Amino acid sequence: MYKRLKVREATWLAIGMIFVSVGILLPLLPKAPLLIISNILTTIGMFYFGTIWNSRQFRMITKQTIIQQAHIFLWRECFLNASKILLVLSVKEIHGGTFIGLMLLALVCALMVPYFSGKSTEVLDKQPK
């Protein structure tokens, strides 16, 4: 559906991140209908986020050599997985201040992704081809 509509990638990325953010927040109100809506929003949001973000990543590294591409992907995956592991290990209580602080930080970072992704696309577009 998103390919048929003439909407910029940045808009779809922002929509995806908003859906993911709302989907992450809804389980804080543990009611069955909200949990179902949370799963639906998170799934849709991750689809749009993953599709746009990964296509932009691939577009940006195509000018690199194969070994440089491998290094970029390896470092990207290490950072993403290490941050998830540290997050899981640092939370002892789901309703504590640490959890709330990490959730707020994660939401702020998630909502900043479309901005920084747009900036990187601008830089890529300005480079000589």
Structural domain boundaries in the chain:
9-126
Q: How far apart are the first and last CA of the chain?
A: 31
**3: pLDDT strictly greater than 70:** no
CA distances, 118 to each of 9, 62, 87, 112 (Å) = 9, 18, 27, 10
Which among 2-6, 9-13, 41-45, 80-84 has the top mean pLDDT? 41-45
Average pLDDT rounded to a whole number, residues 33-43: 93
pLDDT-based confidence at 45, cuts 50/70/90?
very high
Q: How far is it, in rounded angstroms, from Cα 101 to Cα 126?
A: 37
Ramachandran angles phi, psi of 76, nearest 5°: -60, -50
| Res 1: pLDDT | 57
Confidence (pLDDT) at 64 = 82
Per residue in 64-104, pLDDT tens? 889 988 888 888 788 777 777 777 777 777 677 777 787 78
Query: For residues 20 and 49, is the Cβ–Cβ distance under 8 A?
Result: yes
pLDDT of residue 76: 78
